[in-house]
Amino acid sequence: MDSFSIDDIEKHKQMRKEANKKYYQKNKEKHKQKVKEWKKQNLHKGKEYSKNYKINNREKYNDYMKNYMRERRKKKKEEMFDFLV
C-alpha cells in the first residue's frame, strides 16, 4: 500500500481548489441559473439556507450592509444636493 505524505495531500487539496475555482469562473452563468432554478423549486430550503448563511457569516454580512447603507445615504445626499442646486 502506498503512503502519502502530508505535503502530497496538501498539494492535492490546493490543486483541486484551483481547478474548482477555474471551473466555476468558466461556468458562472450556468451555475447561477442552476441555483436560481433550485431556489424556485425548493423555496423553503432556499430561505432556510440564506438565513443560516446570514447567521454563520454575521460579521461579513453586517460589514456588507453597513457599506451598502453608507453608499446609499451618500448617493441620496448627492441627489438631494443636485436637486437643490
Alpha helices in 4-57 (DSSP H): 6-26, 28-41, 43-56
State the pLDDT at residue 2.
62
Answer for the pair 9, 2: CB distance below 8 angstroms, yes or no. Answer: no
For the stretch 24-51, pLDDT in tens is 999 999 999 999 999 899 999 988 988 8
A 10 A CB-CB count for 54 gives 13
Q: Is the dihedral of CA 51, 55, 57, 63 positive or negative?
A: positive
For the stretch 69-84, pLDDT in tens is 999 999 988 888 777 7
The alpha carbon torsion through 32, 37, 59, 16 (nearest 10 deg) reads -50
pTM: 0.43
